[in-house]
């Protein structure tokens, strides 16, 4: 009986003909009774049985299956710190991590933020007025912990590339490796031809699909979001830009290279675990 209940909990309700996306304890109990598995049972009993196997069909976790058949190969190039094709980089070779933080909201709260007081946290109004969105283009020198960035209304990487590459030490460097994702503005052969045609010492390194967590600029974006953009209370784009760029200057004073501990060996173990645990789903996703 317990095994049948657990097996039922591991099914997607839609496959059982139920108009549900997932079970609650109440709905699972109702279906167990309707299926005749047991004459009477409480929701607490069902919860206790599922808890033994850490089954919680009423919960969910977001997940993206890796879709790039060359995931390990492309990701490994990024994880080989200070190496390219097995050769150590020289002092006049640099690694730049670049991306765009899109859809930054511009909005004002309907009531001003109330500062914290003894026994009371900061109060933030949950209602707001929208004033559009903007974007932040940024680049991070992985070795030197140096930041570049600008806030724009519309994304265009052309001007930003020049902002970085036309200054020292990058313009006279032997090679500058730009780590980017598969976003539209730096995707495919056209982006490679444009950038490497404009800057002879630039090498574009594309991450595999859904691997932005390997791009170090994303770490800075998360710091920026937590420290400077929450809560959101800006009435116009210039106010957002002033906050972001002021934080960029502030962070630059204390910035140090990120201590990156995830290695190619860790990646290989992760990919092997994916392949062993969910081969059919991975094949479908690819």
Which pTM was predicted?
A: 0.81
Q: What is the per-residue pLDDT for 123?
A: 93
**pLDDT less than 50: residues of the chain:** none
Q: What is the per-residue pLDDT for 65?
A: 74
Crossing angle (nearest 10°) for helices 188-198 and 157-165: 40
Q: What is the per-residue pLDDT for 177?
A: 94
Q: What is the per-residue pLDDT for 186?
A: 74
Strand order in the sheet with 128-141: 146-152, 128-141, 93-109, 175-180, 202-206
The CATH classification number of 71-259 equals 3.30.420.10
- The separation between CA 90 and the C-alpha centre of its own chain, rounded to angstroms, equals 30
For 36, 49, 82, 97, 237, the CA distances from 245, given in Å and listed in that order, are 64, 54, 29, 18, 12
Q: What is the per-residue pLDDT for 278?
A: 64
Q: What is the per-residue pLDDT for 159?
A: 61
């Amino acid at each position: 009986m317990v095994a049948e209940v657990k097996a039922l909990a591991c099914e997607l309700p839609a496959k059982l003909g139920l108009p549900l996306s997932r079970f609650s304890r109440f709905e699972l109990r109702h279906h167990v009774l309707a299926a005749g598995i047991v004459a009477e049972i409480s929701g607490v009993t069902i919860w206790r049985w599922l808890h033994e196997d850490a089954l919680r069909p009423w919960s969910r976790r977001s997940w993206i299956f890796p879709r790039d058949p060359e995931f390990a190969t492309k990701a490994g190039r990024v994880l080989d710190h200070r190496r390219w094709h097995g050769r150590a980089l020289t002092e006049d070779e640099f690694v730049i991590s670049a991306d765009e933080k899109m859809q930054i909201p511009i909005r004002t709260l309907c009531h001003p933020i109330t500062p914290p007081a003894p026994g009371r946290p900061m109060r933030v109004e949950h209602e707001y007025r929208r004033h559009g969105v903007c974007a932040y283009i940024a680049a991070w020198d992985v070795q030197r912990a140096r930041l570049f960035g600008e806030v724009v209304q519309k994304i265009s990487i052309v001007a930003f590339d020049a902002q970085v590459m036309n200054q020292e030490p990058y313009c006279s460097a032997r090679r500058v490796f730009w780590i980017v994702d598969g976003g539209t503005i730096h995707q495919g052969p056209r982006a490679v031809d444009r950038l490497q045609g404009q800057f002879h010492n630039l090498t574009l390194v594309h991450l595999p699909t859904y691997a932005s967590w390997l791009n170090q600029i994303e770490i800075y974006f998360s710091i920026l979001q937590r420290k400077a953009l929450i809560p959101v209370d800006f009435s116009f784009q210039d106010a957002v830009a002033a906050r972001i760029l002021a934080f960029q200057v502030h962070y630059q004073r204390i910035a140090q290279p990120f201590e990156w501990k995830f290695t190619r060996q860790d990646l290989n173990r992760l990919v092997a675990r994916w392949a062993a645990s969910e081969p059919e789903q991975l094949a479908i996703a690819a």
